[in-house]
């Protein structure tokens, strides 16, 4: 069960991601070279600067989201049929907002939502249901919005899939759909997927830090993966730009229900948009079809004998996107050939060229083969380990397969931005390799249960390879080994595991402000000025001591708590323990120990052990300090490496 099952709810509205942009350049972590101007916005005209939102709060929240449609018993549900359509999907009204958190300045493509809770409400009830959003990162960050639509908009859209946990229901007798959803859901879970797009970065427009969101909520069970659907995976052929499929349809997933004879396909993040409104670009007549052969060349033109059309994608109908979130169910009950063959033949999206000719824009993963790990973002302290949960499927059915795991740093590394900061080197990522251990192979299970691969961090940690920034980031790639990955296989550049491995940080017997605490807090204060300027001056002993109670609370909370400190989740267990020990060990004056200032000579040099050359980028000010720049820089760096 998942959001592609029945029943489901669709919602539409806005989201705010009020991120701080200073920590988008790894070189700004070098406190010794940090300049006050790095906290200025790009609009200040100085360079380098803190990009388009240096005073961001990190808040992620839904804004004005409403249930706009639903699906129950094989039919769409309207407001006339069910009062659930029109209800508000809101954030928690009992605690602080969720926070959007990057894993690391050198891996900004797995931004996670932490500490969000959602509820369904209207004038009749505070919460028909509420639940905690299980921490999840986006995936499938494809370029969706037209380049010329609004220069400073984020043109990349992305999809989040997760579950609501600890779901509590109140009386839902007003809504047949909610009753059915409650009955179908187990384990206190609901499956939730949403697409984010049309994000504004221009401080002068109303949509500043705000974007559009449309998504789907359906039943879930604990036995299934949370962050993807055990279903049919549509994989595009990529060109030189890894985020721009050649035939314009992004990766998406489908679910075949053989009992109901339906295919439910999620086009919510697959289609291009004109602008931030989410108006879908007219790509011509598109249909979902079943291919009669095992595979086809991407972009090939085919005749009627090559495919069996399941139905047109009604994406050009007004309100289709906003009321369905792009999730469309196709009924094949009356098509005998499809009934017999859909389980073993690939799905395709075709575009009508003329009567009797179609072009294949995207096809199911070749051979129907697909491998995925459920969770793909980890933070590990030295000595900790994590269990990666792997699945392999053929045409959506779990299979026993052997997967190979290996280093994959294609989508990580770099400075994060292309600004010119010559005095600070950019650390290399993924080194030393030996600090992170994982098996070279993992065997998946045919019964649909997860196969576990344990990733362990060396108890000694990576040994501060990056100098001025804690720990190291690693990418772990995986692919099918047996059965082997077929030729011409379109793999997703996003399907790898990102790990942030923290350095070892022994807790001193008597931590002092100057010796141990200031270096940690000054860096955080530099990168998160909204906190330092308005709540606690993290570089100032007196200010920190004055707020010792609230800091002690915030540093003591579990990492999932929305009030956890720091909101960026980039403090190792050792550093946190040091902070807490310091806060809880007052000296004779009743205050945490101040110590004596360390001389510059005594402080260890905070320089990376291995560095990487980064190209400068010539960008508009509002393009700086975000996903776009991170990607452009990765690409430019790869071009530079290729060119020698």
Partner 1 sequence: MLKVRRELIEGVKQAGKKEDLYRYLQNAIELEHATIPPYLTAMFSLKPGRNEEIRQLIRSIVIEEMLHLTVSANILVAIGGWPEINTPHFIPKYPGPLPMGIGGEGFEVGIEPFSKKLVHDVFMVIEEPEHPIPIQTFAESAEEYGTIGEFYRAIQKKIIELGNGIFVPGSDKRQVQEWFGYTHLFPVTDVDGAVKAIELVVTEGEGTSSDPFQSPGDPAHYYAFAEIYHGRKIIKTKTGYAYGGAPIPFDESGVYPMKPNAKISDYPEGTQARVRVEQYAYTYSSLLNALHESFNGKPDNIQVAMGLMYELRIEAVSLMSTELGDGSGLTAGPSYHYVNVQGGMGPASVP
Q: Residues in the site for partner 1, rule: CB under 8 A?
A: 13-14, 16, 18, 55, 57, 59, 61, 63-64, 88, 90-97, 121, 123, 126, 198, 205-208, 210, 212, 275-278, 322, 530-531, 533-535, 549-550, 553-554, 562-563
165 vs 298, which CB is nearer to partner 1? Answer: 165
- The helix (H) or strand (E) run that includes residue 386 is strand 385-394
- The helix (H) or strand (E) run that includes residue 312 is strand 307-312
The packing angle between helices 573-583 and 518-527, to 10°, is 110
**Shortest distance, CB of residue 2 to partner 1, whole angstroms?**
27
**Shortest distance, CB of residue 549 to partner 1, whole angstroms?**
7
- In DSSP terms, which residues pair with 479 in a beta bridge? 404
18 vs 629, which CB is nearer to partner 1? Answer: 18
Tokens of 240: 């030189």
276 vs 573, which CB is nearer to partner 1? Answer: 276
209 vs 419, which CB is nearer to partner 1? Answer: 209
Residue 539 and residue 256: Cα distance in Å, rounded? 57
**Shortest distance, CB of residue 325 to partner 1, whole angstroms?**
15
Tokens of 35: 């300049």
The DSSP line for 569-612 is ----HHHHHHHHHHHT-B-TTSSB----PPPTTTSPP---SSEE
**Shortest distance, CB of residue 16 to partner 1, whole angstroms?**
7
Residues 73 and 257: beta-carbon distance below 8 Å = no
Residue 398 and residue 339: Cα distance in Å, rounded? 20
32 vs 63, which CB is nearer to partner 1? Answer: 63
- The helix (H) or strand (E) run that includes residue 359 is strand 357-364
13 vs 511, which CB is nearer to partner 1? Answer: 13
**Shortest distance, CB of residue 633 to partner 1, whole angstroms?**
29
Tokens of 483: 């059965």
50 vs 236, which CB is nearer to partner 1? Answer: 50
**Shortest distance, CB of residue 627 to partner 1, whole angstroms?**
20
**Shortest distance, CB of residue 307 to partner 1, whole angstroms?**
36
Residues sharing a CB contact under 8 Å with residue 435, sequence separation 6 or more, in sequence order: 457, 458, 460, 461, 462, 463, 472, 501
Residue 619: exposure state from Cβ atoms within 10 A (0-12, 13-18, ≥19): middle
41 vs 471, which CB is nearer to partner 1? Answer: 41
Residues in the chain, overall count: 644
210 vs 545, which CB is nearer to partner 1? Answer: 210
176 φψ region: left (φ > 0), alpha (ψ -120 to 50), beta (else):
alpha
**Shortest distance, CB of residue 153 to partner 1, whole angstroms?**
10
**Shortest distance, CB of residue 276 to partner 1, whole angstroms?**
5
62 vs 371, which CB is nearer to partner 1? Answer: 62
Is the sign of the CA dihedral 564, 567, 569, 571 positive or negative? negative
Find the Cα–Cα–Cα–Cα dihedral 476, 480, 486, 488, rounded to 10°: -10
Tokens of 478: 């995986």
**Shortest distance, CB of residue 595 to partner 1, whole angstroms?**
26
- Phi and psi at 637, nearest 5°, equal -70, -40
- In the sheet that holds 472-482, the strands lie side by side as 377-380, 496-501, 472-482, 402-407, 441-443
Q: Which of 268, 219, 215, 195 is nearest to 7 (CA)?
A: 219
The angle formed by the CA atoms of residues 515, 516 and 520, to the nearest 5 degrees, is 130
589 vs 601, which CB is nearer to partner 1? Answer: 589
**Shortest distance, CB of residue 95 to partner 1, whole angstroms?**
5
**Shortest distance, CB of residue 380 to partner 1, whole angstroms?**
27
447 vs 549, which CB is nearer to partner 1? Answer: 549
């Amino acid at each position: 069960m998942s959001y592609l099952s029945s029943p489901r709810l669709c919602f539409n509205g806005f989201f705010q991601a009020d991120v701080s942009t200073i920590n988008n350049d790894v070189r700004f972590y070098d406190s010794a070279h940090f300049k006050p101007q790095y906290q200025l916005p790009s609009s200040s005209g100085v360079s380098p600067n803190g990009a388009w939102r240096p005073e961001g709060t990190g808040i992620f929240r839904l804004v004005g989201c409403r249930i706009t449609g639903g699906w129950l018993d094989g039919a769409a549900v309207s407001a006339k049929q069910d009062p659930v359509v029109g209800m508000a999907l809101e954030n928690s009204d009992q605690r602080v907002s969720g926070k959007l958190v990057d894993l690391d300045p050198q891996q900004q493509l797995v931004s996670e939502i932490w500490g969000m809770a959602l509820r369904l409400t209207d004038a009749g009830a505070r919460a028909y249901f509420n639940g905690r959003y299980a921490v999840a990162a986006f995936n499938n960050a494809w370029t969706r919005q037209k380049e010329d639509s609004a220069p400073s908009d984020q043109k990349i859209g992305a999809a989040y899939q997760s579950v609501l946990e600890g779901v509590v229901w109140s009386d839902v007798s007003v809504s047949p759909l909610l009753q059915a959803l409650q009955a179908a859901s187990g384990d206190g879970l609901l499956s939730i997927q949403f697409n984010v797009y049309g994000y504004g970065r221009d401080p002068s427009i109303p949509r500043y830090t705000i974007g559009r969101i449309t998504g789907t909520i359906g039943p879930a069970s604990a036995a299934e993966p949370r962050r993807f659907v055990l279903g049919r995976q549509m994989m595009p052929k990529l060109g030189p730009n890894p985020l721009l499929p050649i035939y314009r349809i992004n990766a998406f997933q489908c679910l075949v229900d053989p009992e109901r004879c339906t295919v439910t396909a999620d086009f919510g993040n697959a289609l291009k948009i004109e602008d931030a409104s989410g108006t879908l670009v007219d790509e011509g007549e598109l249909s979902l079809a079943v291919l009669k052969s095992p595979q086809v060349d991407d972009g090939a033109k085919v005749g009627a004998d090559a495919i069996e059309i399941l139905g047109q994608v009604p994406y050009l109908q007004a309100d289709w996107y906003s009321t369905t979130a792009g999730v469309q169910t196709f009924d094949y009950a009356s098509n005998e050939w499809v009934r017999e063959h859909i389980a073993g033949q690939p799905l395709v999206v075709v575009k009508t060229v003329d009567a009797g000719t179609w072009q294949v824009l995207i096809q199911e993963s070749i051979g129907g083969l697909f491998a995925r790990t459920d969770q793909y973002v980890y933070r590990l302290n030295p000595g900790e380990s994590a269990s990666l949960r792997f699945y392999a499927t053929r045409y959506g059915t779990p299979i026993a397969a052997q997967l190979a795991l290996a280093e994959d740093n294609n989508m990580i590394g770099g400075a994060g931005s292309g600004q010119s900061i010559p005095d600070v080197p950019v650390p290399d990522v993924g080194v030393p390799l030996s600090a992170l251990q994982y098996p070279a192979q993992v065997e998946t299970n045919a019964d649909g249960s997860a196969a576990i691969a344990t990733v362990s961090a060396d108890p000694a940690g990576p040994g501060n390879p990056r100098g001025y920034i804690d720990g190291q980031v690693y990418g772990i790639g995986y692919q099918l080994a047996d059965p082997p990955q077929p030729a011409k296989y379109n793999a997703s550049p996003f399907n790898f595991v990102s790990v942030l491995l923290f350095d070892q940080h022994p807790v001193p017997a008597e931590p002092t402000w100057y010796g141990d605490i200031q270096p940690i807090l000054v860096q955080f204060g530099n990168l998160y000025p909204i906190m330092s300027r308005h709540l606690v001056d993290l570089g100032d002993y007196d200010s920190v001591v004055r707020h010792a109670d609230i800091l002690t609370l915030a540093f003591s909370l579990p990492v999932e708590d929305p009030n956890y400190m720091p909101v960026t989740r980039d403090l190792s267990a050792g550093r946190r323990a040091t902070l807490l020990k310091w806060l809880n060990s007052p000296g004779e004056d009743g205050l945490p120990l101040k110590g004596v200032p360390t001389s510059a000579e005594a402080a260890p040099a905070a320089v990376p052990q291995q560095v990487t050359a980064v190209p400068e980028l010539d960008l508009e000010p509002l393009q700086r300090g975000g996903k776009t720049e991170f990607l452009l820089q990765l690409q430019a760096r790869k071009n530079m490496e290729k060119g020698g």
